[in-house]
Amino acid sequence: DYELCEEWGHLYPVPREDLINLHREHLLHLLEMGDMEKALQLLQRIEDPGICLAISEQSLDQHPNLAASHFLADYLTAYFYANLTTARRNEIQALYMGSKVLLTLPELSRVNYFHLSSRPLLMLEQLLMNMKVDWVTVAVQTLHQLLAGQEIGFTVEDIDNLLSKYAEKALNFPFALKEKRS
């Protein structure tokens, strides 16, 4: 049905907003089905870059599933980096990094941290508080790789400071150890 509507749009004039809504719904449908290849082909078929940007941003703002969010953040960063404001760019890159970190977690646990996908530092802190040290190790390695040469509102030093803070808390004993006497 989406493809039929798209063909119809080529034959008859369709208002810009209706065209954006049609393509957005089609894109979200393809992403929900997990068909990233067809989603990319759909975006590449759209001739007007303004419409393509609007479709991608609106789709991302609807908070689709993890794989779809990751795809859209990657697409927007790759093709529309210069068209985005600095704040929006940082937001999308943080979402990309957060979704990348989520993809490193065990599949059944991702749902517990999905709400933090746009805030990777907070996700890292939550993992630390939940004592998921193995997951934190992989998450930190992933973030270090992704942050190389990037400016998105936080740095490798912020990650190191967070780890130092929790390492210090782990060594902090709230009571004095007493010696047992026999």
One DSSP character per residue, 40-72 reads HHHHHH---HHHHHHHHHHHHHT---HHHHHHH
Alpha helices per DSSP H over the chain: 2-11, 16-32, 36-45, 49-61, 66-80, 86-104, 110-113, 120-129, 133-147, 156-171
* pLDDT tier, 137 (very low <50, low <70, confident <90, very high otherwise): confident
For all residues of the chain together, what is the average pLDDT? Answer: 85
Which one-letter DSSP state was computed for residue 83?
G
- pLDDT above 60 (res 93): yes
The dihedral sign for the CA sequence 125, 141, 96, 131: negative
Model-level pTM?
0.75
- pLDDT above 70 (res 178): no
pLDDT tens across 48-85, in order? 899 899 999 999 988 888 889 999 999 998 899 888 88
Other C-beta atoms closer than 10 Å to the C-beta of 49 total 11
pLDDT tens across 138-147, in order? 888 888 888 8
The residue extents of the domains of the chain are 1-84, 86-171
CA-nearest of 155, 150, 127, 159 to 73 is 150
Q: What is the distance between the terminal CA atoms of the chain, rounded to a whole angstrom?
A: 84
Average pLDDT over residues 14-34: 89
- pLDDT above 80 (res 148): no
